[in-house]
C-alpha cells in the first residue's frame, strides 16, 4: 500500500508539527504544513490515523471530498471551529458543515431525524448532499455560527470517510479556501491558500464534481434548497414530493437575505472584474469581442470564459473553455480552476458566456453569478 508513490517513504516519517504563537495575543501565527498523498485506490490507514490524531489534538487537516477540498477540524471542539474561522479568514457567523462517515453517527448530533431526512439519506448518502437539521447539545455553537440548527453531510469519497472515522467521527469542514476565493478542486490550490495555517493537507488529486454540495433545509415546513449543487431539485423531488427553493439563489434583487448565511457573501470571486453576457451565441461573441477591444485600448489584460465550440472566436489575452455545453458536469468541474487561473495570470477584466440554468447548470450559474457580483448583460 502506498508503494505506487515514488516519494511515499518520506511521508511515513512521524509528523513534525511546529506551531508558533503570537507573543501578545497567544494566537497561532505559523504552522509547518505537511502534505501527504493518497487516492481512493491507495488508502494509507497509518497516515490517516496520524491525520486523525491531529484533529483529535485540536489541529486542522485539509482533505479531498467528491465536491471540493474541505478544511477539517473537530466539529465537537469549540476551539477547533474557532481555528477554522481564523485559518479561512471567515466571519464566525457563517456556520460549518459537520461531516460524518456513517449513518449511525447522525443521531448524536441532531435533536431528531425527520422522515424526510431518512428518505434523503437513503437516496443520496453517502454523496454531495448536506441537510440542515435541529442540533443536539453535543454540537457547540462555535460550529453552527450561533444557530440552533446544524448542517450535516456524509461524503462518498473514500479518503474523506476513512479520515473522518480516524478523526473521531465528526469533522467540521468548510471548503478549504481563504474566504472569498474560489473553492479548491486540487490540493495545489489548498496549499496556495492554507500553507502555514494548517497542520496537514491530504492530497487526493482532482475532485470529481468541482462545485460544493447541495444544501437542503429540513427544519422548515417545506424542505428548501439553500444552495444548488450536483443533486438537483428534480432529483430531490423524486424522493420528496415537494421541494422549495430559496428565492435569492439566482437573483440579486429579491430584497431578502439568503437563508444559508454563507450565501450572502461575495464568494468565489476572481480578482479580475467579471461580467456574464447572455443571449444568442453569435450576438454574445460579437458583443464580447467589442468589449475586449475597448478594454485592450484602455490597457487592461482581458480574459474570456467560453466553451469548446466558441472559444476560438474570441480575441482576449487569456481564453478559457469551460468545456462542452452538452456535458455540463465538465463545466462544473472546470469553473473554479478557471477562475483561479485568471488570478494566476493577473487578468483584470473577464467576460463569461452564460450557461443554461437547469439541472447542475443551476449550480454553475449560481456560482458564476456570485463570482460576478450578479453583473449580467443580456444581449437582445
Q: How many angstroms separate the CA atoms of 252 and 369, rounded?
A: 9
In the complex, least distance from residue 85 CB atom to Mg ion, rounded to whole angstroms = 12
Size of the site for ligand TXA (CB under 6 A): 27
Please, which residue, 67 or 352, has the CB nearer to ligand TXA?
A: 67
147 binds ligand TXA (CB under 6 A): yes
Spell out, one character per residue from 212 to 251, where the chain touches ligand TXA: x when CB under 6 A holds, - when not: xx-x----------x-------------------------
* DSSP SS3 for 359: coil
Residue 96 binds: one of Mg ion, ligand TXA, none (C-beta under 5 to 8 A by kind):
ligand TXA
Q: How far apart are CA 95 and CA 320, in angstroms?
A: 33
- Does 151 bind ligand TXA (CB under 6 A)? Our answer is yes
Residue 261 contact, options Mg ion, ligand TXA, none, Cβ 5-8 Å cut-off depending on partner type = ligand TXA
Residue nearest ligand TXA, CB atom distance? 262
DSSP string, 50-67: HHHHHHHTT--EEE--SS
CB proximity list for 359: less than 8 A, separation 6 or greater:
232, 234, 328
Q: Answer whether 151's CB lies under 8 Å from 238's CB.
A: no
Element (H, E) at 305: strand 302-306
What is the distance, to the nearest Å, from the Cα of residue 379 to the centroid of all Cα atoms in its chain?
31
- Is residue 333 a contact point for ligand TXA (CB under 6 A)? no
**Per-residue mark of binding to ligand TXA, 186-215 (x: CB under 6 A):** --------------------------xx-x
Q: Among 175, 232, 302, 362, which residue interacts with ligand TXA (rule: CB under 6 A)?
A: 175
Query: Closer to Mg ion at the Cβ: 37 or 267?
Result: 267
- Supply the DSSP string of 185-207, one letter for each residue: SSHHHHHHHHTTTSSEEEE--S-
Place of cell 473514500: 158
Report the chain's C-alpha Rg in angstroms: 21
Single out the segment in contact with ligand TXA by CB under 6 A; choices: 38-46, 170-178, 317-325, 326-334.
170-178
Residue 318, binding choice from Mg ion, ligand TXA, none, Cβ under 5 to 8 Å by partner class: none
Q: Could you give the dihedral angle defined by the CA atoms of residues 111, 240, 248 and 68, in that order, rounded to the nearest 10 degrees? A: 70
Q: Is 302 in the site for ligand TXA (CB under 6 A)?
A: no
Min dist CB 93 to ligand TXA, Å, is 9
Sign of CA pseudo-dihedral 229, 230, 234, 240: negative
Residues binding Mg ion (CB under 5 A): 175
Q: Helix 328-344 vs helix 360-371: angle between axes, to the nearest 10 degrees?
A: 20
Residues 198, 69 contacting (CB under 8 angstroms): no
Residue 151 touches which of ligand TXA, Mg ion, none (Cβ within 5-8 Å per kind): ligand TXA
Minimum separation from the CB atom of position 378 to ligand TXA (A): 28
| Chain residues in the site for ligand TXA (CB under 6 A) | 65, 67-68, 70, 94-97, 130, 132, 144, 147, 149-151, 153, 173-175, 212-213, 215, 226, 260-263
Amino acid at each position: 500500500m502506498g508503494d505506487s508513490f515514488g516519494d511515499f517513504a518520506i511521508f511515513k516519517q512521524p509528523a513534525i508539527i511546529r506551531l508558533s504563537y503570537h507573543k501578545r495575543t497567544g494566537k497561532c501565527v505559523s504552522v509547518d504544513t505537511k502534505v501527504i498523498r493518497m487516492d481512493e485506490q491507495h488508502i494509507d490507514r497509518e497516515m490517516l490515523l496520524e491525520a486523525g490524531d491531529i484533529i483529535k489534538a485540536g489541529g486542522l487537516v485539509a482533505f479531498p471530498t467528491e465536491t471540493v477540498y474541505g478544511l477539517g477540524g473537530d466539529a465537537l471542539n469549540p476551539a477547533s471551529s474557532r481555528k477554522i474561522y481564523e485559518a479561512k479568514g471567515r466571519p464566525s457567523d457563517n456556520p460549518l458543515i459537520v461531516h460524518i462517515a456513517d449513518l449511525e453517527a447522525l443521531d448524536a448530533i441532531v435533536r431528531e431525524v425527520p422522515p424526510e431526512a431518512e428518505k434523503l439519506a437513503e437516496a443520496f448518502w453517502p454523496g454531495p448532499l448536506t441537510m440542515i437539521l435541529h442540533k443536539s447539545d453535543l454540537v457547540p455553537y462555535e460550529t453552527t455560527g450561533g444557530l440552533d440548527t446544524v448542517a450535516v453531510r456524509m461524503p462518498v469519497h473514500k479518503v474523506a470517510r476513512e479520515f473522518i472515522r480516524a478523526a473521531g467521527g465528526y469533522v467540521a469542514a468548510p471548503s478549504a479556501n481563504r474566504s472569498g476565493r474560489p473553492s479548491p478542486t486540487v490540493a495545489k490550490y489548498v496549499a496556495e491558500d492554507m500553507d502555514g495555517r494548517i497542520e496537514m493537507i491530504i492530497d487526493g488529486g482532482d475532485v470529481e464534481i468541482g462545485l460544493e454540495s447541495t444544501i437542503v433545509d429540513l427544519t422548515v415546513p417545506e424542505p428548501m434548497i439553500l444552495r444548488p449543487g450536483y443533486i438537483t431539485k428534480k432529483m430531490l423531488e423524486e424522493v420528496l414530493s415537494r421541494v422549495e427553493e430559496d428565492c435569492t439563489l439566482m437573483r440579486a434583487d429579491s430584497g431578502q437575505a439568503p437563508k444559508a448565511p454563507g450565501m450572502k457573501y461575495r464568494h468565489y470571486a476572481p480578482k479580475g472584474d467579471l461580467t456574464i453576457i447572455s443571449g444568442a451565441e453569435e450576438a454574445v461573441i460579437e458583443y464580447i469581442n467589442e468589449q475586449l477591444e475597448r478594454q485592450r485600448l484602455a490597457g487592461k489584460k482581458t480574459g474570456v470564459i467560453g466553451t469548446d465550440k466558441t472559444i476560438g472566436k474570441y480575441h482576449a489575452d487569456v481564453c478559457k473553455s469551460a468545456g462542452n455545453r452538452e456535458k455540463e458536469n465538465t463545466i462544473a468541474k472546470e469553473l473554479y480552476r478557471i477562475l483561479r487561473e485568471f488570478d494566476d495570470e493577473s487578468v483584470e477584466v473577464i467576460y463569461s458566456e452564460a450557461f443554461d440554468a437547469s439541472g447542475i447548470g443551476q449550480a454553475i450559474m449560481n456560482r458564476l453569478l456570485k463570482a460576478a457580483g450578479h453583473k449580467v448583460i443580456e444581449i437582445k
